[in-house]
Amino acid sequence: MKKSALIFLAGALAFSLNAYELKFKASETDISLKSSNKFINGNNKFSIAPTLHGKAIKGAQVKVKFFMPEMPGMPAMHESAKLEEKDGVYEGSVNLPMNGTWQIKVEIKSKDGHVYKGKSSVDI
């Protein structure tokens, strides 16, 4: 019994070491972007949970765009995530085609028409 509990704890610790969470602001809202793994070059699944005064923003139109600026010999890159809502948590995926720093821009339009914008970045 003790051995199986130790194996479970080791697995949970390994999972938590690979998990990724980014918290930032979008106007007056707080945003938590989570992924079970660190972002990589390729397909990435994540969830985004916007809150206003500690409460989930449900039924909003949420746009998440990833952007890498132009560099010598390389054009700017733009990737948009496709999102689906599940009780105030917006799950999505994005394909990031190369390593480097990606800017993240989030726009949230609530059911009552308020628009909240925020940005952050992720390194892969």
Residue 83 lies in a domain: yes
The CATH number linked to 68 is: 2.60.40.1930
**111/29 Cα distance (integer angstroms):** 14
- The stretch 64-90 carries a mean pLDDT of 95
**33/71 Cα distance (integer angstroms):** 27
Q: How many residues does the chain have?
A: 124
Please give the model's pTM, rounded to 2 decimal places.
Answer: 0.80
**Number of independent structural domains in the chain:** 1
Model pLDDT, residue 29: 92
Model pLDDT, residue 2: 54
The range of the structural domain enclosing residue 73 comes to 19-123
Residue 12 lies in a domain: no
pLDDT, tens digit, 9 for 90 and up, residues 18-28: 688 999 988 88
- Mean pLDDT of all residues belonging to the chain: 87
Model pLDDT, residue 99: 94
